[in-house]
A = this chain, B = another copy of it.
Amino acid sequence: MVDLPHRLGERVLQLTDAAGRALAGREVEVAQTRHAFAFGSTGFELIPHANGDQDAMGAASTSLVDDWLGVFDTATLPFYRGDFEPQRCVTQTHRIRTAARWFAERDVRLKGHPLVWHTVKAAWMDELPLDDAWQVVLDRIRREVSDFRGLIDAWDVVNEAVIMPVFANEPDGVPNVISRIALAKGRIPLIREAFEAARETDPGATLLLNDFDLSSAYECLIEGLLENGVQIDAIGLQTHMHQGYWGEEAMLAMVDRFARYGLPLHLTENTLLSGELMPAHIVDLNDFQPESWPSTAEGEARQVDELVRHYRSLVGHPAVQSITYWGITDAGAWLGAPAGLLRCDGSRKPAYDALRELVRGEWWLAPTRMRTDDNGVVRVSGFLGDYRVTAGGSSAPFALERSAANAEPLTVALG
């Protein structure tokens, strides 16, 4: 772990009993409970389970839950408007909130994705006049951020703004109203107003701009927003690699380009296939969806190698704060691609075990016995995050935080 100093913390704990007396020379157990870094995945796959739809999940339900929680600590929940509100005012709020609560009870952090996007559109909106449609957009931002406040504390507020005003690859051939609004308003006013609506509804939320276009276009958009005083809390970078892993060098060069804005970077949508790659000439990934796209032994060997390199390199970059893998399982994966860490039958690919070995192994403090000194002091070091110390029958939480590296001893009362 010596190559990741920006990920590590240390804390001196002064342990006492309930009366404040030092627990001298006592055996205690220290264990990490969550990473500060967000190791995320989509939470879409567990929505049926969280809602008690056992029929929809079948026997795979339990192992899927265990596998998901066995490596991930942050979930992206779906707010695609066409799915979330297919008819005006008929929403999935209850179902998604049930899922959000299920995750929250398991200490999983949540992000909502996305609040404004031109794709997976709600077709009923296309018929509205532009001004009305924009009010309907702002209203849904306020509604969702309000309805999920306290559960979801991060939002992809605007998704894919670079292409938004010029997007033309409409599945139904009808120009979508979000793109038409973006063309009429301009990207910056649209983003500013969307962020303002989210911010005023939940001032504590982490608000992201998210894009797949990682060219200079996104740089120019971000620079325009920052120069305009639009507060972006984190920059979302999509890296669906259906056409092949970029390699550490290209990936980190891209990360460096966006790191220069001084904002946290979230690698929001990561995909590495365990089967044939998509041909390089495909521009809109949606245009390639073969009948059958199996996971292969060769592909799985490649995937595990690339996945480990990808996570190691990104965790090694100080600006990266979050990596979200885009779906744990091949079952129902976007485009039908073998993009998961589990196969369609629920069995684990090598990539799953390797990622778990990193996130909950090499980078993780498993329950560890330590002995306090004569003053009741233990020194804990490990990955930044949440921890628990246990002695006798009682335990208490504490955190390893970057800013607390040289802080005074932390007094923890047990029992």
Could you tell me the distance between the alpha carbons of A183 and B257 in the complex, rounded to whole angstroms?
9
Residues of chain B contacted by A226 (CB below 8 angstroms): 186
The distance from the CB of A216 to the nearest CB of chain B, in whole angstroms, is 4
With A216-B213, A260-B183 already in contact, the answer to whether A224 and B188 are too (CB < 8 A) is yes
Residues of chain B contacted by A227 (CB below 8 angstroms): 186, 188-189, 224, 227-228
Specify which of A216, A220, A228, A260 lies most central, judged by the most chain B CB atoms within 10 Å of its CB.
A220
Could you tell me the distance between the alpha carbons of A163 and B221 in the complex, rounded to whole angstroms?
14
Give 24 A-B contacts (CB < 8 Å), ordered by A residue. A162-B216, A163-B216, A165-B219, A166-B216, A166-B219, A166-B257, A183-B260, A186-B223, A187-B219, A188-B223, A188-B227, A189-B227, A215-B215, A216-B217, A217-B219, A217-B220, A218-B220, A220-B221, A221-B223, A224-B225, A224-B227, A224-B228, A227-B228, A228-B228
Interface 1/0 per residue, A225-247 and B, CB below 8 Å: 11110000000000000000000
Could you tell me the distance between the alpha carbons of A361 and B183 in the complex, rounded to whole angstroms?
39
The distance from the CB of A194 to the nearest CB of chain B, in whole angstroms, is 15
Number of interface residues of A (CB under 8 A): 25
Residues of chain B contacted by A165 (CB below 8 angstroms): 219
**Do the beta carbons of A220 and B187 come within 8 Å of each other?**
yes
Number of identical monomers bound together in the oligomeric complex: 2
**Interface of A toward B, CB cutoff 8 Å:** 162-163, 165-166, 183, 186-189, 213, 215-221, 223-228, 257, 260
Could you tell me the distance between the alpha carbons of A187 and B14 in the complex, rounded to whole angstroms?
51
Specify which of A163, A186, A187 lies most central, judged by the most chain B CB atoms within 10 Å of its CB.
A186
Residues of chain B contacted by A260 (CB below 8 angstroms): 183
4 shortest interchain CB distances as A-B pairs: A224-B224, A217-B217, A220-B220, A220-B221
With A166-B257, A183-B260, A257-B166 already in contact, the answer to whether A224 and B216 are too (CB < 8 A) is no
Residues of chain B contacted by A183 (CB below 8 angstroms): 260
**Known pairs A220-B221, A224-B228 / 6 extra A-B pairs, C-beta < 8 Å:** A186-B227, A215-B215, A217-B217, A217-B219, A217-B220, A221-B223
Per a CB cutoff under 8 Å, which of B186, B188, B223 touches A187? B223
Could you tell me the distance between the alpha carbons of A219 and B187 in the complex, rounded to whole angstroms?
9
Could you tell me the distance between the alpha carbons of A187 and B218 in the complex, rounded to whole angstroms?
13
Residues of chain B contacted by A187 (CB below 8 angstroms): 219-220, 223
Which chain B residue shows the least CB distance to A217? B217
Could you tell me the distance between the alpha carbons of A382 and B128 in the complex, rounded to whole angstroms?
44
Residues of chain B contacted by A163 (CB below 8 angstroms): 216
Could you tell me the distance between the alpha carbons of A192 and B10 in the complex, rounded to whole angstroms?
46
Could you tell me the distance between the alpha carbons of A379 and B361 in the complex, rounded to whole angstroms?
89
The distance from the CB of A257 to the nearest CB of chain B, in whole angstroms, is 6
Per a CB cutoff under 8 Å, which of B166, B219, B224 touches A223? B224
Could you tell me the distance between the alpha carbons of A187 and B261 in the complex, rounded to whole angstroms?
12
Could you tell me the distance between the alpha carbons of A132 and B364 in the complex, rounded to whole angstroms?
48
Residues of chain B contacted by A228 (CB below 8 angstroms): 224, 227-228
The distance from the CB of A328 to the nearest CB of chain B, in whole angstroms, is 32
Which chain B residue shows the least CB distance to A226? B186
Which chain B residue shows the least CB distance to A260? B183
Residues of chain B contacted by A223 (CB below 8 angstroms): 186-188, 221, 224
Could you tell me the distance between the alpha carbons of A187 and B215 in the complex, rounded to whole angstroms?
15
Which chain B residue shows the least CB distance to A168? B253
Could you tell me the distance between the alpha carbons of A221 and B260 in the complex, rounded to whole angstroms?
17
Residues of chain B contacted by A216 (CB below 8 angstroms): 162-163, 166, 213, 217
Residues of chain B contacted by A186 (CB below 8 angstroms): 223, 226-227
The distance from the CB of A370 to the nearest CB of chain B, in whole angstroms, is 47
Residues of chain B contacted by A224 (CB below 8 angstroms): 188, 220-221, 223-225, 227-228
